[in-house]
Structure 1
């Protein structure tokens, strides 16, 4: 204990009538005062009164009572634990209490802002979990339409908002969980509406992957779309929307491959009239 006290810059004394009568507390305080001055002692009063007229109420150890300077101490009376802690820290760091209190309040405000942001992120995650719960347990047409609408919102409308806060990782997680469902609704190309809806969702997913730099994942999704569109083309070659969508998928692939520096591959995806230009 003497070694520990000798290595300490400050001594925080928890003061009460009981500690004032303690032989061990008196020995520790007395030893510290022989090494350092009273200005390095911080009395924290939890009960009793310093310099009390009645010895029964006295809370300061005898060594502190004998010092020539009055030690008012930090009292719990009428104060919260937070205030007592801040006053103790202000004494340790030699910082004005008001200044430290202002810092503490600013820190609390920042913490509340962070908590609000976390709550928003958690809301999105819970929303996503609810979405996939709907997909898993209820395949009714109306429910599926609602799920697809919500998925489009998450992957498309929410995209710029989360990008602003640097939280595209949330959308990436949504995209990862969406892939199995989208593949499920597009397995039967005999239903063109389902297949085209899946192509739209898959394209939104590819845009998310491209935003976070996962170009290989984005390329895989565009290739899947092209494969589905080719099957649809074989069923009905005269549907103009299929040729339009296929052209858009090839353009998206060309853009990705240019970004990767694969200019020859990008040229391969470019329509002939664009090459001539």
Structure 2
């Protein structure tokens, strides 16, 4: 079911067991990383990121292309490291390839022209593992007619059918993080969108944490500034004044940070369109570089605040540079150190450096008992560490820390209400991903009530909470409840984000999907048409979200009897899905096969169900109803093609899983049951 959720959050030790080769021998490496020496920096970066990756706890013990998954993946072979002591280069390379489950090729004009990269590819293909090759583009253009720009090694194309699929680490494409996740999804044998969504959710929720930390930093910096300009004998009075103003300062900066979250950092907004949020922060950063040299604590604290604002704008590299620079300032104040390590960790988490983030959250937590650390700061660090551990597979420990943070914030009463909402939200997300839906609903509902009162109904955090409640309702089959929540979010998004914000397209699609599942196709059509226009304008005609939007519109057109248009839309969705290795390829092919059989093209439809079954088995093997849906559609095609007994057997076999997930009055539920009578194909 093509459906896109906009939610919020998610994101040594034992070695995983690797898949055996044809002879039954256990393979030593997850993958052989092939690259030209001019791309060594990219290879090292990828190698480190893959070997530091921690497999989510819920995936451990599951079978995968690498064997049974454990906390860490088996090592990766990068020849400049692995061959340092080898006296036989050729033999060592071949052995490395033989002992690797996958071949990862770092693609650039350098590697395309490299004799050794091409030979490594040919050797791996000769071992019968062409389907285990994954490409990552770092420079140049795939299949460019200009040899100086082409980045695909010729050996990849030798004997291949169609264009190769590649993750694209270049700016403006998948980016390094997206490319890394695509490779990891293949190694783990899970849908790419699942890993991507966990990362996107974690980034989205971190913004709320950043806002809380920044308000604290603003208040502390304000107090230091007041104390510095008043005579010594008045310093204590100034501090009392600063403390009295803390609450107001926090609320004011929290509002400003909330504005940053929904602003486009590249476009000036407001009357006159004079200046952007990015320009304001850049100006502050330049002023900080030449000021406060005699007050290192104040300079460090201000730097942390600027880094947090950069993070809130999505400019994580800039935020990292600022906060890392503050670590060089000698000041000896533990409370400022707590903010520095915490903000550094949050920035590292945004950049995908999970292990380093956890290490620095732990470093901040060792200073929490210092008298200068406020209760609010203490709860912030505990929550952040708990959230990071939850995303790293330690949900139980993460829950404990978040509950400890919640107890601190509840004790602060009114002052701690916003942070209490953050804690409840984090606990709610953990409960949802653990399948404890009733608990998740209770926690997120309480967080939503606080957010609405403290931040106002148009806060992005309010929308986040409502999205999660919609997710819970959808998971429990409450389509009406999910629809109501998405309608409310659509109205808020249009007011807060404006009519052209890309997140609006996701909300339009989600609401439309609720209507499609209820067979209210005519109501869904204009929402999807608008979503497609919006995303095409903002992100181009091959944005991966269009897989959801166009395939959903195809279902609508098919229900409206506009078969040719529906087929063209399914074709477009499948084309994008193949190009970006999208996990919804299997479901899209399944729905297109149903359309073809309905149109009388039963032979073509049956062939398409075979392709769909392979894609669904690869990307959704653990989702029983998706596998059953392919069987149900195939059964309908067999019935339509005159093979009724065979088709009816498949339809009957598929029904238990489909009935468990889909009520009889839903689109899929009704279609699945109607095939028993041959009324649908």
TM-score > 0.5, shorter chain as reference: no
Please give the range of the TM-score, normalised by the shorter of the 2 chains.
0.3 to 0.5
- Structure richer in helix, relative to its length: 1
Task: Please identify the structure whose Cα radius of gyration is greater.
Answer: 1
TM-score (norm 1): 0.44
TM-score (norm 2): 0.20
